Amino acid sequence: MKKAVVFIKGGFGNQLFQFAFANYLKINNYKVTLNTDLFRVIGTSTPRELTIPINNFGFKEQSSISKQILKTGMIFEANNKIRSSKLHLLFKDYKYTKNNQDILTLDAKRLFFNDYWKDMKYIDASKRSMINSLKKNEIINSGFKESNDFAMIHVRRGDFVKDDRHLNIDFYEKGLQMIKSNKINIKYDIFTDDYDWVSRQSIFQDAENIFGQKSIKNDNSKIDGIDAMDDKDETIETFSKMLRYKHFIVGNSSFAFWAAYLKSNEDSTVVVPNPWFRNHPHPTLKKNKWCVIENN
Residue 173 shares a structural domain with residue 85: no
How many domains are contained in the chain?
A: 2
Residue 174 domain-assigned (yes or no): yes
With left for phi above 0 and alpha for psi between -120 and 50, is residue 29 left, alpha or beta?
left
Same domain? For 110 and 143 the reply is no
User: Both 17 and 101 in a single domain?
Assistant: yes
237-266 per-residue burial string, b: 16 or more CB within 10 A, e: under 16: bbbbbbbbbbbbbbbbbbbbbbbbbbbbee
- Give the separation between CA 190 and CA 198, rounded to whole angstroms: 8
Using the 3D structure, point to which of 72, 99, 125 is the last residue of a domain.
Answer: 125
d(CA 163, CA 8): 22
Q: Do 242 and 120 fall within a single domain?
A: no
Per the domain annotation, does 132 fall within a domain? no
**Same domain membership, residue 267 and residue 217:** yes
Please indicate, yes or no, whether residues 69 and 152 belong to a single structural domain of this protein: no
pLDDT given for residue 222 in this prediction: 46
Is residue 130 domain-resident?
Answer: no
Q: Which of 78, 101, 125 is the last residue of a domain?
A: 125
Q: Do both 113 and 237 map to the same domain?
A: no
For the stretch 174-197, what's the b/e string if a residue is b when 16 or more beta carbons lie within 10 angstroms of its beta carbon? Answer: bbbebbeeeeeebebbbbbbbbeb
Range of the domain at 93: 3-125
Reduced to 3 states (helix: H, G, I; strand: E, B; else coil), residue 110 is: strand
Cβ neighbors of 251 (< 8 A, separation 6 or more) are: 153, 154, 155, 156, 167, 171, 172, 272, 273
Q: What are phi and psi of 269, to 5 degrees?
A: -105, 120
> Distances from the Cα of 3 to the Cαs of 67, 106, 109, 130, 174, in angstroms?
13, 12, 6, 21, 46
Q: Residue 95 domain-assigned?
A: yes
- Return the pLDDT at 109: 79
Radius of gyration of the chain (CA): 21
Domain boundary among 66, 96, 125: 125
pLDDT at position 100, please? Answer: 60
Residue 5: strand, helix, or coil: strand
Residues 142 and 255 reside in one and the same domain: yes
* Whether residue 219 sits in one domain with residue 99: no
Question: In a structure prediction context, what are the per-residue pLDDT tens digits for the chain, which is 296 residues long?
Answer: 889 999 999 999 999 999 999 999 999 999 999 999 999 876 555 678 999 999 999 999 999 998 888 777 666 666 666 666 666 555 555 566 666 667 777 777 788 899 999 999 999 999 999 999 999 999 999 999 999 999 999 999 988 998 889 999 999 999 999 999 877 789 999 999 999 999 999 999 999 999 999 875 544 444 444 455 678 999 999 999 999 999 999 999 999 999 999 999 999 999 999 999 998 888 999 999 999 999 98
Residues 168, 26 within the same domain: no
In whole angstroms, give the CA distance from residue 21 to residue 135. Answer: 18
Query: Is there a single domain that holds both residue 211 and residue 258?
Result: yes
Distance CA 179, CA 182 (A): 5
Same domain, 114 and 141: no
